[in-house]
Structure formats: C-alpha cells, structure tokens
Amino acid sequence: MPNSLLPRSRAPETPDSNPLGGVRSTYPGPRAQISRDANLTWWRRILPIISSHRLTFVASIVLSFVSLILQTLVPYLLNGAITHALQKHNASLHRAVVEIVVVGALAGVTGILSRQYLYRTAYEVEADLRSLIYEHLTWLSFSFYDRVQSGQLISRANSDIRSVQMYSTFAPLILVQTSIGVLAFGFMLKIDPLLACIAMVVMPILYVVGIKMRRVLFPISWITQSRLADVATIVDENVNGVRVVKSFAQEEAEINRLADAAERVAWAYVKDAQIRGQWSPWLQNLPQLGLALVLAFGGFMVINGKLGVGAILAFNAYLLMLQAPFMMLGQLVMMGQRAKASAERIFEILDEHPEVIERPGAYDLVDVEGSLDFDHVRFGYGPDVEILQDFNLRISAGETVALVGRTGSGKSTVARLATRFYDTTEGAVRVDGHDVRDVTMASLRQNVGVVLDEPFLFSVSVGENIAYGVPGATYVAIEAAARAAAAHDFIMDLPDGYDTVIGERGYTLSGGQRQRIAIARTLLVNPPILILDDATSAVDVHVESTIYDALTTLMASRTTLVIAHRISTIALARRVILLEDGRVVADGTHEQLLATSGLYAEILAQTIVEDL
C-alpha cells in the first residue's frame, strides 16, 4: 500500500495547479448579495446586485441619455435650417447640414457605446444572480431537496434568472429612452405651446392603459414560468431515468406526459399573447393619434400663416420619435410582470433557510482519533415519520463495526447523522467527544468519509472524479487510491485510462465500477472515520474480496462503520450491531448474534436469498 494514503490529514500538493487539466475560472464571483428584507419590492431587493456594477451601468445610462439629447436636437436643427436657410435666407444651408450630420453621428456613436456597456452589465448581473442562487442551493439542507423537484430548481436558475436580468438592466434604459418624450415635449413647447399640448393629449390615456395591462399580465406570467418549470422537471426526470423508462417500455407514456405539460405551457403562452394582442395596440397606436391631431391642427395653423413649415416637420419628427419609446413602454410593462413573477419564484428559494447551520463560534475538528458516539438519539424525516428512537452506540477509535438491520430500520440514517446531513431531534452525535453541532461542517466531513450505496459520478474524467475531494492530488495519489479500491485495472482498460471522460452520472460504467471509483474517491481524502453504506452492493463476490483485502489494511488505522448487506461485508467487522425499529437490539460478534438472536439469523437468511 503506497504511503501517500496513510496520513490522516493532508493539504493539496499543488494548490495553484490542476494536474488533471481543465480551465480555471477567472470570474471573481458576485460583488453583492440581494437584500434579505422580504418586505421590500422585488426590484429593490435586486438593486444591490446592479449597484455593484454601477460604473458600467451608469456609463450606459449616461451615454444613452446623451444619445437621446443629440437625437432630439436633430428635428430642432432641421426646423431652424428650413426656417432660416430656405424660407428667410438669412443663414447658410451648408452649415446647417454639417451641424445635423455631426449631431447625428455623435448620437450614433454614443448609442453604440451605451449598448456595449449595457450588455456587459446585463451579463455580469446574470452571472451574479446565477452564482448567488447556486451558492444558496449548496448552503441549503438535505431536507430542502427532499421536498423540491430538481426541474423546478433548474428552471428558476435559468429562465427565471434571465427574465429578472433582462428587466433589471434593460428597464432603466427603456425608461431613459422613454424620457425622450420629456425632451421632445420641451422642444415642442419652445416651437409652439398650444400644438405641443394637443400632441400630448393622449398621454393620460396611455398611462391608464399601461396600468390595466400590468394588472392582467402578472397572473399569467406567474403561470407561464411555473409551467415551464414543470416541463423542465419532466425532462430532467426522463433524462436521468431513461434506463427505467426504457426498461418498462414507457416511452409513449412519458411522451404523453410531456405533451400534456407542453400543452399547458402553450395555453399560458396563448393567453399571454391574447392579453398582449388586446392591450399592446393601444400603447402602440395612441401616439399615432397624437400625430394625426398635430397634422390636423398644425396644418390648419400653417395654412393660416400661424406656424412655419419647418415647425410642422419638426413636430412630426418628434412624434415619430415618440412612437418607438411608447412601443418599448408596452414591452417594459410585459417584461416587468414576467420579471416580477420570476423574481418571486427565485426569492422562494433564496428566502429558504437551512435547517442545519453552523453555530456561532463553531471550531474546526482537528487531530481526530476516530471515536464516534450516538447518545440517546431520536430522529425522523418528518413529524410523523420517526426513524431512530433512543439510539445509543459507541464506537471506539480504530474499531470496525457492522450495522445490520431490516430495510427501513434506520441504518443509512445513522450515516447521515454522523456527517450532519441532518440534525438529531433529541440527543447528540459526537466525534472524539465533540458534538458535531459545535464543529464546522467542512472539517467534520473531511474527517468522516461516506461511501454511499448509490455512487454519483460527474461527467468528467475518471481521475477528476477520484480527486474530487482533493482537487490538488497528484496522479500518484489518485492511482494509489484506485488500487486500494481495486479499480486500477479496469481504469487502465478504458480508452484513455484515468483521462477517460465518463458519461453523465457515470452510466457508461457498470454499477460495480462506479462503486469502486466512489470508494477510491473517499479513500483519497483519507478520513480517520470511514462509513461504508452498503458500498459494495453492486460488486461481484470476487471483486468484493479484492476490495476487502485492501480495505482491511486501511481499516487498521481508522474507525470504520460498515452498513452491512452481505455476510462477507459483516465479516470485515469484529463487532456487529443489530438495529430494529430505530433501536439497538443486539451487540456482539457475528458468531454470538447468530447463536443468540433469531432476528439476526432471519435477516441474514433473507439477504442470502436476495443475493441468489
């Protein structure tokens, strides 16, 4: 056995490098958090994120505003050119043309720069929001994942974030663009106050229409995002469970289930389109009514010599300029309602509080010898589902103990409490006499390693999967861990050896191969306490024997809790604990329990039948 696996604690050997390849992210992470005050409006809760990018954001808004001012100057200059150069002949037409071209060019340049800064801000805000929600998801307790569908989380971390990002960054720009109406109205007042008031007579109607449109759009926006999440859930379940679907020939049933969900999404989209179709034309066409009024009254004033031709052309240009902002204003209302619905769905996650948290003053668990105590532990996954009842167990440092019991007796729950995936309802779990609730979770899980019965592998190389817990591990250490788990030989038979990229969840490997890689992953961390939760259930007897030969050597220097399924697994332990209804009902050697406990003999007989 290579010596690299024997030390109980180690630091990554090359912390600034990645010997397994890959690109390190240069993304610095979010600069701010959302506001935790749930009483604030949704956009005020998002505001700290946008404020953290205020330099580029303010630059985009300022440049956009400058561009709009320059744009509104063009009709004013046009009015002056026509009035003074063409009608009164008291100014140079050439100079007027140059002024208009220069102002128009500057408006274009500032508009381009504004867009560049805005898009940069938008995507940085999106990255921050996505990082925040993922960080929060990793912080939440296992009980949260017990009741929330993964598809719902995926939808909220993608489409909902995109809706919030688009509105949060583009809404201020659209409002600035809409403010062109104020500037245009100022220029129109300067040209002719009466005609300016006539042109803006439709504005109160537009305001009322916008308010009504906002009220009817919000419910359907929420429904749309929720049903999109339902579709994401079905797709996620079918992709991850494709082998089950095909095994039972349920492809058609799943297609129908997805079709039903897609139909519900389609209904929501159609309803959304109907609402838009009902209200959007008002927002888009009412400004044209203002244009018609200007043409009617302005034309009458021009005919009667009360207004110049240049003025009426300038008014028409300003009103045409107003149409785009008001069309954007309608879009802003629609984006706002969808963003509001999406933000509330995101806040449902971000406002969740983990049930398992570190206490103030939590300290690191260091120099662990390996004793593990369960002191009068009670625990249940819900108020009506109690698993462990007055569970008492003491495992001395360096001892190997097998935990045996019927399905549902609480064996795996013991492993989850030892790593503090859940907190006890009553009693305490202690490592070396330290209550696990008093120590930092990172140090606890570095010292208590668990190999689960359903190993999860990532879609990266075999070597990266083994080195997951020690990212700086060398190939020598990775290979040593693989050899200890009897995985080296089959890994070397793969196309690229340790560099072979495995399929999603490791399904390109057999169940036994996945379990051996999972064992190697835990052994590389080299924890002083090792919990094997039926970790060799998918391994054949010959391979299991090879793994146990290696594990026997490793177990000599660590505390090991083996959640047993087979007699061969139980043989690893000198002490056997029999669990029934969440309580320890027998404690002794395998031979002692076999001779004194009918329940133990019955459970072993059942497992033999199941293996056959």
Domain residue limits, the chain = 42-350, 372-611
pLDDT per residue over 216-275, tens digit each? 777 887 788 778 777 877 777 676 666 566 656 777 877 888 788 888 888 888 888 888
Average model confidence (pLDDT) across the chain: 79
| Per-residue pLDDT at 264 | 87
Say if residue 18's pLDDT is above 50.
no
> Where are the strands (E) in 411-461, listed by range?
426-431, 434-435, 448-451
| Per-residue pLDDT at 166 | 81
Count of beta carbons in the 10 Å neighbourhood of residue 555: 19
Provide the H-helix boundaries in 433-508: 441-447, 462-466, 475-484, 488-492
The whole-angstrom distance between residue 173's C-alpha and the CA centroid of its chain comes to 27
Say if residue 533's pLDDT is above 60.
yes
pLDDT per residue over 38-50, tens digit each? 888 888 888 898 8
User: In this structure, what are the phi and psi dihedrals at residue 263, rounded to the nearest 5 degrees?
Assistant: -65, -35
Q: Which residues contact 191 (CB under 8 A, 6 or more apart)?
A: 76, 79, 311, 314, 315
Reported as type and span, the H/E element at residue 404 is strand 400-405
- The CA-CA-CA angle for residues 549, 550, 552, to 5°, reads 70
- Fold entry, domain 372-611: Rossmann fold (3.40.50)
Q: Per the structure block, which two tokens stand in for 368?
A: 């662990």
pLDDT per residue over 143-194, tens digit each? 888 787 777 787 777 778 888 888 887 788 777 777 777 777 777 787 778 8
Q: Output 602 or 79, whichever has higher pLDDT.
A: 602
User: In this structure, what are the phi and psi dihedrals at residue 370, rounded to the nearest 5 degrees?
Assistant: 120, 10
Q: Output 506 or 132, whichever has higher pLDDT.
A: 132
Specify whether domain 42-350 bears CATH 3.50.50.60.
Answer: no
The whole-angstrom distance between residue 392's C-alpha and the CA centroid of its chain comes to 39
Distance CA 114, CA 329 (A): 19
Cβ-contact 369, 388 below 8 angstroms:
no
Say if residue 544's pLDDT is above 90.
no
| Per-residue pLDDT at 436 | 93
Q: What separation in angstroms does the CA of 554 have from each of 96, 121, 289, 366, 501?
A: 89, 53, 85, 20, 28
pLDDT per residue over 97-120, tens digit each? 787 888 888 888 998 898 889 888
pLDDT per residue over 331-342, tens digit each? 677 778 778 888
Q: Per the structure block, which two tokens stand in for 122?
A: 């938008």
| Per-residue pLDDT at 555 | 66
User: In this structure, what are the phi and psi dihedrals at residue 375, rounded to the nearest 5 degrees?
Assistant: -110, 100
- The pLDDT of 550-572, averaged and rounded, is 75
| Per-residue pLDDT at 553 | 61
Place of tokens 């690893």: 572
Q: What pTM value is reported for the model?
A: 0.68
| Per-residue pLDDT at 6 | 33
Distance CA 513, CA 289 (A): 73
The whole-angstrom distance between residue 174's C-alpha and the CA centroid of its chain comes to 28
Q: Output 348 or 555, whichever has higher pLDDT.
A: 348
- Poorest-confidence range of 374-378, 392-396, 445-449? 445-449
Distance CA 104, CA 97 (A): 11
| Per-residue pLDDT at 199 | 74
**Where residue 427 falls among pLDDT bands split at 50, 70, 90?**
very high
pLDDT per residue over 482-511, tens digit each? 988 888 989 999 988 999 988 766 777 877
**Where residue 324 falls among pLDDT bands split at 50, 70, 90?**
low
| Per-residue pLDDT at 12 | 36
Provide the H-helix boundaries in 13-155: 42-51, 54-80, 93-139, 142-147, 150-155
Distance CA 534, CA 515 (A): 10
Share of the chain above pLDDT 90, in %: 10
| Per-residue pLDDT at 23 | 43
Count of beta carbons in the 10 Å neighbourhood of residue 113: 17
**Where residue 8 falls among pLDDT bands split at 50, 70, 90?**
very low
